[in-house]
Structure formats: structure tokens, C-alpha cells
Amino acid sequence: MYAGQELTAHAVFENVGSVADRISSLGELTHGDSIASGPSVQIIAHDTDGRPAVAVGYVTLPTGDRPFLIDAGFQRFYAVKTGEDTQIYLANLVRYLGSVGCKAQPTR
């Protein structure tokens, strides 16, 4: 999936040119599922078949809004290699989810 084609401009795709869509191993090909659109989610990426693949949204809590992300293609993370765009996407995802009120309180 490529920036400007299947990937929209969003913080989780910052500095990401492409991420894996389908993975092949030992002659087997795997691809993700699709996400149902709805009022509480914003589709930010489609797979190469045009199906919604990544979405974001917010859950409203008494302490404020918390972001969430749904990625219907877990297979894209099977072969992540250091420095590749899929790893950058994962790091951006962690940064995005931790950016708004998602900080756990110390347990001690």
C-alpha cells in the first residue's frame, strides 16, 4: 500500500512511503480483512483491492477523548525489518496512541 494511493495523509503514515499489504511465505499468500465504515471511525487507508484496511477514531471518556486505531491487516507485521516503512508505521502508531491521554498511572 503506497502513500498518496492507498494511504492517506495521517500522522500514523508520516515518513512512510509504503507498507506491506499481502505477505507470501512458502507458497501461501495472506491478506487482511476489511473494516466496516461507520460514524465513529475514519478510514485512513485501503488495501490494494480497495477495501478499507486502517481506520482511526476516538472514544469519549470522562477523562477526555482517547484515540484508537483498527488495522485489518495484521499480516503486514509478520516480516517487519529494522528501518523499513512498516516499522516506521508501527512506531508512528505507538506515538499516535500515546499522544492523547493514554498514559497509565504508575502501579506502585
Domain that holds residue 55: 11-97
In this prediction, residues 25-52 reach a mean pLDDT of 83
> Residue 11 corresponds to which cell in the numbers above?
500522522
This prediction has a pTM of: 0.80
In this prediction, residues 43-63 reach a mean pLDDT of 89
Question: Is residue 10's pLDDT more than 90?
Answer: yes
Q: Which pLDDT does position 107 carry in this prediction?
A: 45
- Residue 100 confidence class, pLDDT cut points 50, 70, 90: low
> How many domains in the chain?
1
In this prediction, residues 62-89 reach a mean pLDDT of 81
> Residue 3 corresponds to which cell in the numbers above?
502513500
Q: Is residue 29 part of a domain?
A: yes
> Residue 25 corresponds to which cell in the numbers above?
511465505
> Residue 23 corresponds to which cell in the numbers above?
505477505
Cα–Cα distance measured from residue 25 to residue 106, given in angstroms and rounded to the nearest whole number: 42
Average per-residue pLDDT in the chain?
82
Q: Is residue 104 part of a domain?
A: no
- Residue 79 confidence class, pLDDT cut points 50, 70, 90: low
